[in-house]
Each structure stands twice: as structure tokens, then as C-alpha cells.
């Protein structure tokens, strides 16, 4: 059983190595939601994510014999860096098995903490299989990313800090993947205040914990599909599942498109970079009635590569009608392009890109296709530009360039 003294001991054990992340006030969210929002942003953590807490607590509570054998784990991201850092802090070796699809920045970050990185397979399951084999064959101590009470206890130090800084917290929102973070946070929260509400948040495309709670036992999903890769878990942890059953009051599921909106809001309005898994709790604020309450969404991390950020920005702008593409058919003669540009300019649109296709028609002298990508102020402005084009006699076709519904 995880008890208060366990988390208190974990806090003392890992304190020299972690950042005591602050509770950040966001007045704009307060005003929009009618409550007091305090963000617990683990993106400010030493490795940029909460995973360091559990990895450190596990490593630093091992026996000398277990540590001396070296550590091994499978991960494609934050847990890898957490275990690598923990091994370095404990003065032992670490072998991290990562899928070959892992972004280079995460591989290099893990190596920077002194770990040996082995790239194997295309999925986490492939990497986990090799990590378990190395543990058995070479005697390395396996550090599971979530299915371990010692890992969960380390993550519970987040609740320890929340209650020290905000004793009157009413609601805690916590992301759920395998369940380690949610176990630690909810267990300590209920020990400190049984009346506090702890709500787990999962992506709709990987809601394995909700499915398990509904079934009354751990289940395995056939597949997971979500941009929140850090919580894309098919099977939750069986060792920690009873804690979830006891201490999580509810689970909210969030579709990926809401995570895209949340990313854009956090970056543009609040100047924060939050990884997709951490955005779950921000999106969940729109699904709860929190008026007059003190709410703490836990933002699990901020590790995101620039290519992913660029994609999210593009998708977010398209979803909000701030970037769109349309095509029109034009006679292939001088001055036609100028006419289109003039209409867009008069409507205060900003053209980003033009594509001219002469092969859309058999008779290219008769008509060619012009694709126009431009910036707008939102859906109303987008509609006004399209209407102006249609009023000028053009047949406008909206074009999807990213799969985002127009």
C-alpha cells in the first residue's frame, strides 16, 4: 500500500535532483471558466517532464546489489530521459531501448545523460521485449515506466507539492496513460483530503484506463491512435489499477482536435509549450463545471520536437479558419492572376502561396487551376473572402491540404 510516509520519504529522496515546479496562475482562464486555475507545469522539470520523479525514486530506493547490476528500460521519450538521469545520479549504468522511430532529439537527450541507447523495432512493444530480454540475460534491473508502486510513489510527490502550495485545492486534473502518474497523485491527494476531486484525462483514441474501469479489470485495447503519444497505452498497469479504482473520481476523454486547439491557445495566449499528453488537462477544463473552485491541471511535460510543433500550429490555424486554401479555374491569359489577387487584397486577406496548374484541363488554353493559400482572421473572414470571389463570378473549391475538415 502507498501511504503518506512513503511519498514524504520519496520527496526527501528526490528533492536534491528535481525542480519544485510552481503553481502558475492564468487570469485569462479564471475569467473564461469562472474559477481559479493553477497550472502545475512539469515542463519546467529538469528533464522537461514529470517522469524524472518516479525514475529517481525507484533508482534511489534500490539496494546496492540491484543498482550495481545497472538499469534497463524501454521508452521512446520522457521515461528514457528520467531513467538515464536517475542512473547518472546514482552513479550506475543505464541501457535504454528505444524504437527506431524515436525522434533524434530524444535519442540524443537520453545519450546526453550518459545512457547507452539501443535502437530496436518500430514500436514500444518491440523495444520493451528487448529490454526485458536484456534484463534477464544480463541481469540488469528493469525499471518499468508506470506499473510499479515505487514509480507511482515518486510521481505522487506532485500532489505533495500541490497541497503544500494550495491546501484548499478542490479539483486536480491528471493525464492518464499507463496510470503511474494518476496513481501517485490521486492516492496522496485522497490521503490528505478525502473530499478533493481527482479527475483523470485520457485521449479518446487511447482510453485504456476508462475501458478497464468500466470492465472492472485491466483490459487491453486492440489499437491506440492519438497524437498524445506519451499516453498511448494499450494496457494499463495491473499493479497500480486498484489505486485508480479507489481514488480516481472520474475519467474524461478528449479527442485529438481539442488537443490541437489547446496547444495553440497555450502557445499564443499563455506563452507556454506543453506536449500533447500534458494538454489533456487543459482541454478537460472545458468539460467540467468548476465555477468558484480552485482547480489544478497537471501539465505532464513540455518535451516536443519542432517538427511536431510546426504541424500542430498548421493544423490549429486551419481548424480556426486562419489559414485556408481554395482553388479556382481561370482562362490562361494575362491579367487573370491579378484579378484574383485584387479581390483577396480588397478583403484584407494575405496570400501565402500560389500554385498554378496548367494540366487540370485537356485544353489548357481554355482554363488552368489556381490554388491560393492565404491567411484570414477566422471563419467569418474566410467566408467573406470566398463570397467575394463567388460574387466576382469564380467557382471556388475549398482544398484540404492536411486532412483537417474545412
Written as nine digits, the cell of 169 is: 485545492
Secondary structure (3-state) at 272: coil
- From the list 159, 208, 300, 327, the catalytic residue is 300
Closest CA to 172 of 197, 144, 192: 197
How far is Cα 68 from Cα 141, in angstroms, rounded to an integer? Answer: 9
C-alpha 157 chain-centroid distance = 21
Phi, then psi, of 212 in degrees rounded to 5:
-70, -45
Q: Which residues pair with 250 in a beta bridge?
A: 199
- Which residues lie closer than 8 Å to 172 by C-beta, 6 or more apart? 159, 162, 185, 186, 189, 196, 197, 198, 199, 295, 296, 298
How far is Cα 219 from Cα 105, in angstroms, rounded to an integer? Answer: 33
State in Å, rounded, how far the first CA of the chain is from the last one. Answer: 51
Secondary structure (3-state) at 406: coil
Phi-psi region at 91: left, alpha or beta (left = phi > 0; alpha = psi -120 to 50): left
DSSP secondary structure string, 31-90? HHHTSEEEEEEGGGSTTSBTHHHHHHHHHHTS-HHHHHT-EEEE-SSHHHHHHHHHHHHH
Closest CA to 296 of 140, 172, 152, 194: 172
Closest CA to 250 of 158, 163, 186, 193: 186
- From the list 51, 106, 210, 382, the catalytic residue is 51
75 flagged as catalytic: no
How many helices and strands (H and E) does the chain possess?
17, 14
How far is Cα 174 from Cα 280, in angstroms, rounded to an integer? Answer: 8
Q: Print burial letters for 376-399: b (CB count within 10 Å at least 16), e (below 16).
A: beeeebbeebbebbeeeebebeee
342 flagged as catalytic: no
- Which residues lie closer than 8 Å to 215 by C-beta, 6 or more apart? none
Which of the residues are catalytic?
51, 300
Amino acid at each position: 500500500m502507498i501511504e503518506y510516509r512513503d511519498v514524504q520519504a520519496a520527496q526527501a529522496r528526490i528533492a536534491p535532483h528535481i525542480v519544485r515546479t510552481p503553481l502558475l496562475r492564468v487570469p485569462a482562464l479564471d475569467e473564461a471558466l469562472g474559477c481559479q486555475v493553477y497550472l502545475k507545469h512539469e515542463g519546467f522539470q529538469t528533464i522537461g517532464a514529470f517522469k524524472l520523479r518516479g525514475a529517481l525514486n525507484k533508482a534511489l530506493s534500490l539496494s546496492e546489489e540491484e543498482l550495481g547490476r545497472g538499469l534497463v528500460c524501454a521508452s521512446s521519450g520522457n521515461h528514457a530521459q528520467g531513467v538515464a538521469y536517475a542512473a547518472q545520479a546514482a552513479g550506475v549504468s543505464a541501457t535504454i531501448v528505444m524504437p527506431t522511430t524515436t525522434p533524434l532529439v530524444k535519442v540524443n537527450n537520453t545519450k546526453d545523460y550518459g545512457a547507452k541507447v539501443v535502437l530496436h523495432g518500430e514500436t514500444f512493444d518491440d523495444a520493451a521485449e528487448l529490454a526485458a530480454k536484456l534484463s534477464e540475460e544480463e541481469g540488469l534491473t528493469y525499471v518499468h515506466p508506470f506499473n510499479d508502486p515505487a514509480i507511482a510513489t515518486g510521481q505522487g510527490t506532485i500532489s505533495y507539492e500541490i497541497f503544500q502550495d494550495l491546501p484548499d485545492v478542490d479539483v486536480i486534473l491528471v493525464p492518464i496513460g499507463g496510470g503511474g502518474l494518476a496513481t501517485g497523485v490521486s492516492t496522496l491527494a485522497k490521503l490528505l483530503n478525502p473530499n478533493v476531486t481527482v479527475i483523470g484525462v485520457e485521449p479518446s483514441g487511447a482510453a485504456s484506463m476508462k475501458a478497464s474501469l468500466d470492465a472492472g479489470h485491466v483490459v487491453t485495447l486492440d489499437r491506440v491512435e492519438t497524437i498524445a503519444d506519451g499516453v498511448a497505452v494499450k494496457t494499463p498497469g495491473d499493479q497500480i489499477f486498484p489505486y485508480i479504482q479507489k481514488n480516481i473520481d472520474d475519467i474524461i476523454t478528449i479527442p485529438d482536435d481539442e488537443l490541437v486547439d489547446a496547444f495553440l491557445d497555450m502557445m499564443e495566449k499563455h506563452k507556454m509549450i506543453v506536449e500533447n499528453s500534458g494538454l489533456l488537462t487543459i482541454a478537460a477544463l472545458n468539460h467540467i463545471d468548476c465555477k468558484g473552485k480552485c482547480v489544478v491541471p497537471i501539465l505532464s511535460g513540455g518535451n516536443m520536437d519542432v517538427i511536431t510543433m510546426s504541424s500542430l500550429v498548421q493544423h490549429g490555424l486551419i481548424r480556426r479558419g486562419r489559414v485556408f486554401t481554395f482553388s479556382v479555374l481561370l482562362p490562361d491569359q494575362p491579367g487573370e492572376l491579378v484579378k484574383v489577387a485584387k479581390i483577396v487584397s480588397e478583403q484584407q486577406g494575405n496570400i501565402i502561396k500560389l500554385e498554378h496548374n496548367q494540366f487540370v484541363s485537356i485544353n489548357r488554353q481554355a482554363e488552368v487551376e489556381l490554388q491560393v493559400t492565404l491567411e484570414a482572421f477566422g471563419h467569418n473572414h474566410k467566408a467573406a473572402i470566398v463570397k467575394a470571389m463567388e460574387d466576382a463570378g469564380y467557382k471556388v473549391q475549398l482544398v484540404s491540404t492536411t486532412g483537417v475538415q474545412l
